[in-house]
Amino acid sequence: MSKDEFINIFELTLVSANLDITGLSLVDDSHVQIAFKGGGKKKVNIKADSYGAIIVDVMKYVF
C-alpha cells in the first residue's frame, strides 16, 4: 500500500468517526493536511513516519 492510499483510507476513517475533520490529504511525501469543519487547516510533518506513526502524529491535532 502506498502512502497516498493509506492517507485516503485514514481520511475515510476520521470522517466516518464524526470528528471535527472534513478531510485529510497528502501534501507531499513529508506532510499531510488536516481540514477541520470550522474551515481551519493544519499541516502535519510525517517525514520518515511509519503508518502507525502517521496515525499518532495526526491524532495529536484531532482531539
The residue to which cell 500500500 is assigned: 1
* Amino acid occupying residue 16: S
- Answer yes or no: is pLDDT of 5 > 90: yes
The predicted-structure confidence for 8-39, as pLDDT tens digits, reads as follows: 999 999 999 999 999 999 999 999 999 999 99
**CA distance linking residue 49 with residue 53, whole number of Å:** 5
The count of structural domains within the chain is 1
**CA distance linking residue 22 with residue 34, whole number of Å:** 8
**CA distance linking residue 33 with residue 36, whole number of Å:** 10
What is the domain extent for residue 56? 3-62
- Answer yes or no: is pLDDT of 49 > 90: no
